[in-house]
Chain A
Amino acid sequence: MFGRGRKIAPYLFISPFFIGYAIFFLYPVVQSLQLSFYRQVGLNKAPRFIGFDNYVRLVSKDALFIKALANTTYYALGSILIIVPLALLLALILHSPKLRLREFFRFLYFTPNITAGVVVGIIFGLVFEEQYGLINNLLLAPLGLENVRWLREARWIMPAVILLGAWKWTGINAIYFMVGLQNIPPELKEAARVDGATRWQVFWHVTLPLLRPILAFVLTVAIIGSYNLFAEPAILVGMEGGPNNAGMTMTMYLYARGFRELKMGYASAIGYSLAVIILVLSVIQLVLIRAFRED
C-alpha cells in the first residue's frame, strides 16, 4: 500500500497517530474548554450556557477548591525541598569514582518509582499507622518521641504524603542528577582545582551551575507530578482526603466533582484551572533558573 512512492508515504505513516491524537486528545481539549462555560450535571442532561460562572465560583465561593489548591501547593513545595537536595547529595556520592555497589544502590533507589501508586498507598498505610506503624515505632519511639497521628489528624496528613512522595521520587531524581554529573567534562573541575579552588568552591561555582538544565527538568517534572498526584493520597486517606479534606489534591478534587457528582461543566473548569496553574508555574520556574544564569 506504500508502493505509490515517496509523495504520499509520509502522510500514511503519520496519519494513524494524528487521527488518534485528534480524536482522543485535541477534540477533548477543545470540548472541555467549551464545556467549562456550561452547566451540565449528569450525562444525559442538556448543558446550559453560564459564561464564566464556573470559574468565578471556583475562585470566589468554592472553599474546597482553594483547599485542594493549597494542599497541592504545600505538597509541591514540601516534596521539592526534601527531594532536590537529597537527590543531589545521593547523586554526588554515587558519582564518586571507585564506589562499590553503585549498580545495587542505583537500582534499589529506583524501585519505588516503578511501583504502582495504589501499592505505595497501601504500604504507607502501614508505615504511617498510628499505633503499630513503622515510623512511630521504629523511628520516633527510639528517639523518645510521642506517636504522631499521621493519617488521623488534619495537620499531619500532608507531611505524611510529602514523606511518601520523597520516598517515591528521590531515587529517580538522583539518577537524573547522575546523568547531569556524567555530562560535565572532568577537565573543568580539574582546572578549578589546579587554580586552588576548594572542593566546596568547585561544587558551588562549577558543578552546580552546569547542572542547571537538569535542575530545570527535575523541577518541571516535580511540579507536573504534584498536580497529577491522585492514587497515593486517595488510597492513603480516602477519596475525600481524610479529616478536614487535608489530603485532597487538585486531581482528586476534579475526580470528585466530575466523576462522583457528574458535574461535567464544573470539572472541566477545574481541569482548565489546573492547566493554567501548571503552565504559569513552569514558566516562573524557567525564568528563575534563567535569572540565576545571568549572575
Chain B
Amino acid sequence: MRLAISRHPDATERKSLYLKLLEATLLYAILFVFALLVGIPFLYMFTGSFKTNGQLFSWPVNLLAPEPTLNNYERLLSGEEIPYLRQMGNSVVIAVSQSALTLLFASMVGWGFAKYEFRGKTFLTIFLLFTFAIPFQVTLVPLFQMIVRLGLLDSFLGVILPSSVSAFGAFFMRQAMVSIPQELLDAGRIDGASEWGLFWRIGIPLSRGALSILCVLVFLAAWNDYLWPLIVLRTPEKFTYPVGLATLKGLYKIEYGMILGGAFIATLPIVLIFVAGRNQILDNLTIGAVKQ
C-alpha cells in the first residue's frame, strides 16, 4: 500500500483511499475466514492423531495437542486392530495399476480417433458421448455378478479391471492428441516408422502434459474410491485403506486417535503429489506441444 504520498490528497481522494483500504481488508478477511474453515478440520485431524481418546473427548476443545503421544501411530502401524500398512500397500498397487491401464487404453483410443480416418468413427464418437452420460450405479449389480462368475471376488483384478476403461480418458486424450501436426507423422512414415512406432515415439511424448494430468486424476479417483473396493474386497488383508479405516470406525470401542492417524497418513501422499506436481503439470500444458 502506497499510503505515504508526498502531495496532500484532497478530501474526495482521501475518502476513496479509505474506501479502497476498507474494501481490501474486507476481501482479505473473507479469504482468511474461508481458509480457516477449510484448514481447521485438517489441523484437527493432524493434532488429534497425537491424542488419546480421553484427550479428544474432553473440555475445553483444543485444536493443538499439548501432550502429544505416538501411541496411536505405534498401535496402528503394528497392525493391532487392522493390517494398516498392508492395506496402504494394497491401495498403492491398485491405484498404480489402474492408472497405468487407464492411461494405456485411453491414449491408444485417443490416438486412433485423433490421427486416423476410418469407417464408423463418427458413429463410435457419438455412441461414446451418449453412453458417457449413463451413471455408473446402473452397472454395479451386473458387474458384481460378472466379477463373482470370473472368480475375481476378493481380488485386486476385480477392483482394477472394471475401472480401467474410462470414456472420459478417451475423450481427454483425443483432444490432447488431435493438435499434433500431421507433418510429423508423414515424415516418420517416410523414414519407415511403423504405425505403432509413430504412436509410441511421437504421440506419447508430445502428449506428456495431458497424460500427467490424466494420471493424477485417475490415481486420485482410485486412491480415494470406497464403494467399488467395498463391494469386491472381502478379507482385511485385501482391503484398500478406505475400506480398512471404515471397519475401524465400526468397531465397538472406537479408537478415534488411531483412525485420525490412519486418515492423516493416507491423505499426506495425495497432498504432496499435488504440491510437487502442480507446477510440472502446468508447465507441460504449455510447453509440451512446442518442444521438439
B206 → A minimal CB distance (Å): 16
Contact with A along B13-55 (1 / 0, CB 8 A): 0000000000000010011001101111110110010000000
> Contacting chain A: which of B64-72, B77-85, B159-167?
B159-167
CA distance A230 to B230 in the complex (A): 11
A110, A121, A259: the one within 8 Å of B144 (CB): A259
Query: Which of B113, B117, B135, B165 has the most CB atoms of chain A within a 10 A radius of its CB?
Result: B135
Please tell me if the beta carbons of B140 and A171 are within 8 angstroms of each other in the complex: no
**Given contacts A119-B263, A134-B40, are A279 and B133 in contact (CB under 8 A)?**
yes
CA distance A116 to B195 in the complex (A): 40
Please tell me if the beta carbons of B138 and A32 are within 8 angstroms of each other in the complex: yes
Please tell me if the beta carbons of A3 and B109 are within 8 angstroms of each other in the complex: no
A292 interface residue per 8 A CB criterion: no
The secondary structure that dominates the A interface is helix
Question: Chain A: how many interface residues by the 8 Å CB criterion?
Answer: 89
Residues of B within 8 A of A110 (CB): 274
Query: Which of A3, A35, A107, A119 has the most CB atoms of chain B within a 10 A radius of its CB?
Result: A119
**Between A and B, how many residue pairs show CB distances below 8 Å?**
248
Residues of B within 8 A of A105 (CB): 31, 35
A-B contact pairs, 18 of them (CB 8 A): A3-B196, A10-B116, A14-B112, A17-B109, A27-B142, A28-B143, A93-B27, A108-B35, A116-B223, A117-B242, A123-B260, A132-B61, A134-B40, A224-B135, A234-B226, A251-B227, A267-B140, A271-B140
Give residues in A with beta carbon < 8 Å to B. 1-6, 9-14, 16-18, 20-21, 23-29, 31-32, 35, 43, 86, 89-90, 93-94, 96, 101, 105, 107-112, 114-119, 121-127, 129, 131-134, 137-138, 167, 170-171, 224, 227-228, 230-231, 234-235, 250-251, 254-255, 258-259, 264, 267-268, 270-272, 274-275, 278-279, 282
Contacts A101-B31, A127-B41 aside, 18 further interface pairs with beta carbons under 8 A come to A10-B116, A10-B118, A14-B109, A14-B124, A16-B108, A25-B165, A28-B143, A31-B142, A32-B138, A108-B38, A110-B274, A116-B270, A118-B242, A125-B249, A125-B256, A254-B137, A259-B231, A271-B138
